[in-house]
Amino acid sequence: MPASQPRSRARDRNNVLNRAEFLSLNQPLKGNQESRSSGRKQSGQAGPAGAPNSSPKERRQSQQLPEEDCMQLNPSFKGIAFNSLLAIDICMSKRLGVCANRASSWGGARSMINLLGITGHGIPWIAGTLICLVKSSTLAGQEVLMNLLLALLLDIMIVAGLQKLAKRKGPYDINPGLLDYLTMDTYAFPAGHASRVAMLSKFFLNHLVLAIPLRILLVLWALCVGFSRVMIGRHHITDVLSGFVFGYLQFRLVELIWMSSNTCQMLISIW
């Protein structure tokens, strides 16, 4: 035992970690321990005391944040499908906008495409219907023209209301024309020209006696006017297709509220 003690003392002297400059490695600092313990005490005290101060709204938001993050990182299948279809619609509409400006591939035909679009505008059709109504002398003709005027006015109001609700802009940054402002056709969804030509073509096919070639030309005219709005960059493809659907629904609405000949005569006499 006496011999082992000098050996252990010599071993301690030879140990490098027992030197003065390395003592801090073997013994933890008291200041660190005190700061850690005080920090733990403060956090422990702040937890119970701070919990009552936090409002229920803040606690609810803190609980909902992880769920919102998960919803953003893991969208539903419907959301993915809708966003994919929307991206395809925008991409195809931009590709088909060959007359969007003078620098486009078909920029030289822009004037002709605009002229085709004017044939489906509401102002010329309302003005033409009023002129024909003044010059008409038959009861059947006045009845058809009065209901056509009603259909045109309903089309403008319905499309303007839907566009104000959707507020969707076209694929290209193109300012609406003067006639578009008059009919409140300033947004993209749904396409006002498409709904109007669809309603007019269906109206004429039902209430006018036309030969087969004229009926085919009428349908082709409606299709050309609708998709001309995509070519000049004013509407997306889905805007035009939805316009066709709304135009047909407007025709069915006019058929339901069809004004009789007596009603038309009473309105004409008041006017």
Which pLDDT tens digit goes with each residue over 155-212? 999 999 999 999 888 888 777 777 778 878 888 899 999 999 999 999 999 998 889 9
The dihedral of CA 220, 241, 191, 203: what is its sign? Answer: positive
Residue of 192, 239, 243 whose CA lies nearest to 97: 239
d(CA 167, CA 99): 23
Q: Is the pTM value of this prediction over 0.85?
A: no
Q: Which residues are designated catalytic?
A: 193, 235
| Cα separation values, 151 from 5, 199, 252, 255, Å | 115, 8, 10, 9
Mean pLDDT, range 245-258, rounded to an integer: 94
Q: Where are the domains of the chain?
A: 107-270
**Preceding peptide of 75 cis, ω within 30°:** no
User: What pLDDT is stored for residue 186 in this prediction?
Assistant: 85
> Own/partner pairs for 176-180, CB < 8 Å, 24+ apart?
176/234, 179/118, 179/121, 179/122, 179/123
Q: What is the pLDDT of residues 99-111, one digit of tens each?
A: 887 777 787 888 8
